[in-house]
Chains A and B, each alone.
Chain A
Amino acid sequence: MSTKPILSVPTEQLEHTTFDTTMEERILELLKRYPTTRAALIPVLWLCQDRYGWLAPGVIRAVAERLGESPAYVEGVATFYTMFYTRPPAKFVLQVCETLSCAVCGGKELLHHLESRLGIKPGEKTPDGVFQLVGVQCLGACGTAPVVQINDDYYENLTIERLDAVLDDLKGRS
């Protein structure tokens, strides 16, 4: 598995976001799926996060304008869902499942190991911006605990050794 890094576009460059033809085409395609414009909001936010790495204030405003919503409404929705980044994430977001099945099958140890290896606490990024550590709730893969999701990919049945190997590989490619 080769997890793709998140490349967050800097805030300033997103200040006056406008959608190019490719984005506009994809938005139109999404709008066709629903009888209301508002229903396309979450898919459009995904589209933007995939494109820009995160949902900067300028992106929120552009989405709001395109869909005829207020920026406050769009931000209200974006911040309700934990997977939308309203601050720029690191290249690799390590999402360690903390819920019961993972917790009793080595998940806690994985989190502690990552804290000491990276020298950061959950919620923090490494100074070089490569890794971000997040404790997350159930990822729905309890039978292959412990589980860590890195960006879009699931890493299951992990041990400290296997996780270290994954991190070494990602670090080498960043």
Chain B
Amino acid sequence: MEPVLLRARGVPNSRSIDTYLAAGGWSGFAKALSMTPDAVVQETIESELRGRGGAGFPTGRKWSFVPKDHPGPRYLICNADESEPGTFKDREIIEHDPHMVLEGIAIASFAIRSNTAYIYIRGEFVRWAAILEDAIAEAHRRGWLGKNVQGSGYDLDIWVHRGAGAYICGEETALIESIEGKRGFPRLKPPFPAVVGVFGKPTVVNNVETLACLPHILTRGAKWFASIGRPKNTGTKLYCVSGHVKRPGVYELPMGVTFREIIEGPCGGIREGHTLKAFFPGGSSAPVMRATEVDVRADFDACAEAGTMLGSGGVIVLDDSVDMVETAANLAHFYAHESCGQCTPCREGSDWARDILDRIVAGHGRPGDPETLLRICRFASQGMTICPLGDAFSLPISSIVRKFPEEFERHIQAASAVPQKKLPVLPWAGSRPGFGS
């Protein structure tokens, strides 16, 4: 397949605007400027592009929720927080093709009639934030950003806003709070950001990969984009494969290939001497899949039908050397660390799950632990919390408990005497190795 989003990978000097222009870059935005904003929205709806950040919501429809009669400013935010474990595709696009991201932002901003866009990039990506800043300066010099872009009368400014280390800020309302200079506490919805977003104004938050599709949709047409992949799951997708494959990395494939095709194709299969045990299809927040489920198609609808989700396309591959209870414990540590602390079921539940899983791994599992874990997960998911972090920690842990019960059995049967451990009154005050101590 001809690369679309990764076409600049391996091209010399790919980040420069001249290289980008020579490859037909910025012409999608030029085309958008010759259309009405509504026509750009319509074209995007017809392409059936769905959000690549995790939720898979139709992008054009998301834009169409922005009220047309709203006076005053509205905002476009590019979500480059990329913090979902197993996901590393946005960095790849920024690294090789920053202008493609800027052009996508420009098209989306024009479509929702916004004159200011922010790129919220995770704090650790210092180098990639600088790459974006350089590209923005270059685009200004060439008249693709700023006042009266290419003589069209349309103004657009893009600002890079660095986060400072918080997984939760990848959630769009937490991200908005963070831009406003607050702690990253997710907001209750409704109102949705399209109506009340950053600074109280209509706001659209789109992922880097979603935005990077737009220049191609504009130049080659919605029909072309929709012809790739499968119905309702169109376009190419960046699959990030990590873990126990021979060649981990970011691969661009038509949406809807199977996980087997991804793992055994470009990734070269499982490392020598081992077999596939399990994989997370879309970041660590997606329910785990057994090796027998490897023929599921890697698209939004097929994953949902199989009881999991495509999420961000971060495929974490685990071979037979991996202990699934330890895997659950590892992820529980992640979510317990990253829970923002607003909602009790998530804040306490993720800490409890971590403590129970650590205890099982330490050789002190008890009969009934798997059921307790499932109960904690049930209390923290399906609408019990403000944002989906409750689900994000519950789904992988509960799916590991359900799909690998024999591994929990083995740990629990081999367990030594049960130590009496009191639950700390304040789990937050427990052992949290990290900064500042």
Question: Among residues 399 to 437 in chain B, which have CB atoms less than 8 Å away from a CB atom of chain A?
Answer: 433-437
> In the complex the two chains form, what is the Cα distance from A139 to B122 in whole Å?
9
Most-contacted residue by chain B among A89, A103, A135, A153 (CB, 10 A): A103
Q: In the complex the two chains form, is B434's CB within 8 Å of A138's CB?
A: no
In chain B, positions 373-414 with a C-beta closer than 8 Å to chain A are none
Asked if B314 CB lies within 8 Å of chain A CBs, one says yes
Interface centre among B123, B242, B280, by most A CB within 10 Å?
B242
| B397 CB to nearest chain A CB (Å) | 12
B-side contacts of A33, CB under 8 Å: 159, 161
Cα(A82)–Cα(B83), bound, Å: 13
Residues from 69 to 106 in A contacting B, C-beta threshold 8 Å: 76-77, 80-87, 89, 98-101, 103-105
At the interface, yes or no: A121 with Cβ under 8 Å from chain B? yes
Whether A81 and B164, one on each chain, are in contact in the complex, defined by CB atoms closer than 8 angstroms, is: yes
- Whether the Cβ atoms of A138 and B167 lie closer than 8 Å is yes
User: B184 in the interface, Cβ–Cβ < 8 Å?
Assistant: yes
Checking B123, B162, B316 against A142 with a beta-carbon cut-off of 8 angstroms, the contacting residue is: B316
Q: Are B199 and A134 in contact (CB under 8 A)?
A: no
Contact of A141 among B88, B182, B330, B437 (CB under 8 A): B88
Residues on B with C-beta less than 8 A from A81 are 123, 163-166, 184
Nearest opposing residue in chain A for B185, CB measure: A80
Q: Which residue of B lies closest to A35 (CB)?
A: B199
Is the pair A123, B433 in contact by a Cβ cutoff of 8 Å?
yes
Residues from chain B with a CB closer than 8 A to the CB of A141 are: 88, 91
Partner of B322, one of A35, A45, A89, A104: A104
A39-B179 CB under 8 A given contacts A100-B330, A101-B243: yes
- B-chain residues with CB within 8 Å of residue A145 when the two chains form the complex: 242-243, 248
Q: Which residue in A87, A100, A135 is a CB contact (below 8 Å) of B316?
A: A100
Q: How far is the CA of A27 from the CA of B127 in the complex (A)?
A: 21
Q: Is B242 in contact with A143, judged by CB distance below 8 angstroms?
A: yes
A143 in contact with B331 (CB, 8 Å)? no
The residues of B that contact A77 with a CB separation of less than 8 Å are 181-183
Interface residues of chain A, those whose CB is within 8 Å of chain B, are 33-36, 38-43, 45-46, 76-77, 80-87, 89, 98-101, 103-105, 121-124, 134-145, 149, 152-154
Can you list 27 residue pairs at the A/B interface with Cβ under 8 Å?
A38-B182, A43-B161, A46-B123, A46-B164, A77-B183, A81-B123, A81-B164, A89-B435, A98-B330, A100-B243, A100-B330, A101-B243, A101-B316, A104-B244, A105-B242, A137-B334, A137-B338, A138-B84, A138-B85, A140-B125, A142-B85, A142-B248, A143-B88, A143-B241, A144-B248, A145-B248, A154-B124
- Not counting A39-B181, A100-B330, A149-B124, a sample of 4 additional A-B residue pairs whose C-beta atoms are within 8 angstroms of each other reads A36-B181, A42-B164, A42-B178, A89-B435
Give 4 closest A-B pairs by Cβ, nearest first.
A81-B164, A142-B242, A83-B165, A41-B181
